[in-house]
Copies of this chain bind each other. A is one copy, B any other.
């Protein structure tokens, strides 16, 4: 039985999970790959801190990543440092040295994926990244290998557990965003610095990777319209529920009108949608292919062992191939189609919208607002004025039919200039999902 030597960069939460799984499942994993798996070296800046469930004394710990990267006996490098640098440099060096790489680093792939894949192609090595999107769900594998006979029409879903936990809690317990965020931080569901999650960037990173694989395109992160959940008010969560909707942070990529739209934003979806029922730290992704129809994948989008499970799925596939002398094929790495879909600017997308206009309760105000919408080609499905307080600002809630984003923005600017409108109008996109 051949030995495959693996080096690990980063012994944080997921890194410790990778070690644990080899401890507990090593025998079966060796049976499945028909090779002996050795964690030859683990590099981390902190070699002292205890890791729960792991006996550090048994591991070959090194303080410097170079001791992994320069070890010619190591065939596979697992990168779990996170962040852009030094992770990028380390991976480029590992690939250049002919080592195969597995990473869970979504930010890095979203920013520098093209460079990394090109490097892997040049050096004829494999680069696995299943763990970078949707945690333990074998989603990228399903899209890449399970749907090659489809043109993908859309990919959308809930890919950030922190935001989903916060929005679920705001909905179920009618709590304010800031209260729930503090609680989520206390329970470890949100980072001390939660910006990457709640501003939507983490979802945008994952959407970039997912869209690249599904649509075989190279999408620039800055071209993904990204809006987080910090602006979702308690009031809008309540209004959504009353109207038969839920608010979720969705990552959406759709082929439409010969182009590709890619966006991350709070979205109102019907309460009976399967996505509405996805609560807490779970992820769920819908994929629609022209031959296969609608598919849905659901599971834990983060966490130590689910993510480490995905890391090992890549590492074991590579180990099996290396142990049996099977070379890496450039064609197996993500590539851009001969004629990729051009990106559609956000201004051109069409959507239905929820509006909450804070308007003075005076005769004729609704006519003014509706008049502006009409002049911008936007028609209303329903209007709901929730309270009456003559002369004071009250919320007027509106649902529109599909309209063009550019028209909606122009209409909103005009509405917010009306003297009877007291504060900035809240707008949330509505998907029929």
Residues of B within 8 A of A151 (CB): 25, 28
Known A21-B149, A294-B299, A296-B299; further 16 A-B contacts with Cβ < 8 A: A28-B151, A32-B148, A136-B289, A136-B292, A136-B295, A138-B147, A145-B313, A148-B312, A289-B309, A291-B306, A292-B299, A292-B310, A295-B297, A296-B297, A326-B326, A326-B327
A65 interface residue (CB < 8 Å to B): no
**A33 CA to B145 CA in the complex, in Å?**
11
A386 interface residue (CB < 8 Å to B): no
What are 21 contact pairs spanning A and B, CB under 8 A? A31-B337, A31-B338, A33-B148, A34-B329, A130-B146, A136-B289, A136-B292, A138-B141, A138-B142, A138-B145, A141-B141, A141-B142, A145-B145, A149-B313, A274-B298, A289-B309, A291-B306, A293-B305, A296-B298, A297-B298, A320-B331
**A52 CA to B241 CA in the complex, in Å?**
46
On whether A146 and B138 interact (CB within 8 A), knowing A299-B296, A324-B329, A331-B32, the answer reads yes
**A338 CA to B31 CA in the complex, in Å?**
8
Q: Kindly provide the distance from the CB of A314 to the nearest chain B CB, expressed in whole angstroms.
A: 9
A278 nearest CB neighbor, chain B only: B274
Residues of B within 8 A of A320 (CB): 329, 331-332
**Contact pick for A331, options B33, B150, B274, CB 8 Å:** B33
Judge whether B312 and A149 touch: CB under 8 Å: yes
A220 interface residue (CB < 8 Å to B): no
Contact surface of A with B, Cβ cutoff 8 Å = 17, 21, 25, 28-29, 31-34, 130, 136-138, 141-142, 145-151, 274, 277, 289, 291-300, 303, 305-306, 308-310, 312-313, 316-317, 320, 324, 326-327, 329, 331-332, 337-338
Judge whether B137 and A295 touch: CB under 8 Å: yes
Residues of B within 8 A of A305 (CB): 291-293
Judge whether B296 and A292 touch: CB under 8 Å: no
Judge whether A147 and B309 touch: CB under 8 Å: yes
Q: Kindly provide the distance from the CB of A250 to the nearest chain B CB, expressed in whole angstroms.
A: 17
Q: Kindly provide the distance from the CB of A37 to the nearest chain B CB, expressed in whole angstroms.
A: 11
A303 nearest CB neighbor, chain B only: B293
Q: Kindly provide the distance from the CB of A202 to the nearest chain B CB, expressed in whole angstroms.
A: 20
Return the 7 tightest CB-CB contacts between A and B, nearest first: A138-B146, A149-B312, A136-B292, A296-B298, A295-B299, A291-B305, A291-B309
A295 nearest CB neighbor, chain B only: B299
A331 nearest CB neighbor, chain B only: B34
Residues of B within 8 A of A312 (CB): 148-149
A300 nearest CB neighbor, chain B only: B293
On whether A149 and B327 interact (CB within 8 A), knowing A136-B295, A299-B296, the answer reads no
Residues of B within 8 A of A300 (CB): 292-294
Q: Kindly provide the distance from the CB of A53 to the nearest chain B CB, expressed in whole angstroms.
A: 13
A142 nearest CB neighbor, chain B only: B138
Residues of B within 8 A of A130 (CB): 146
**A154 CA to B33 CA in the complex, in Å?**
23
Q: Kindly provide the distance from the CB of A218 to the nearest chain B CB, expressed in whole angstroms.
A: 15
On whether A145 and B141 interact (CB within 8 A), knowing A292-B300, A298-B295, A299-B296, the answer reads yes
Residues of B within 8 A of A146 (CB): 130, 138, 141-142, 310, 313
**A316 CA to B291 CA in the complex, in Å?**
15
**A306 CA to B289 CA in the complex, in Å?**
9
Residues of B within 8 A of A310 (CB): 146, 292
Judge whether A308 and B291 touch: CB under 8 Å: yes
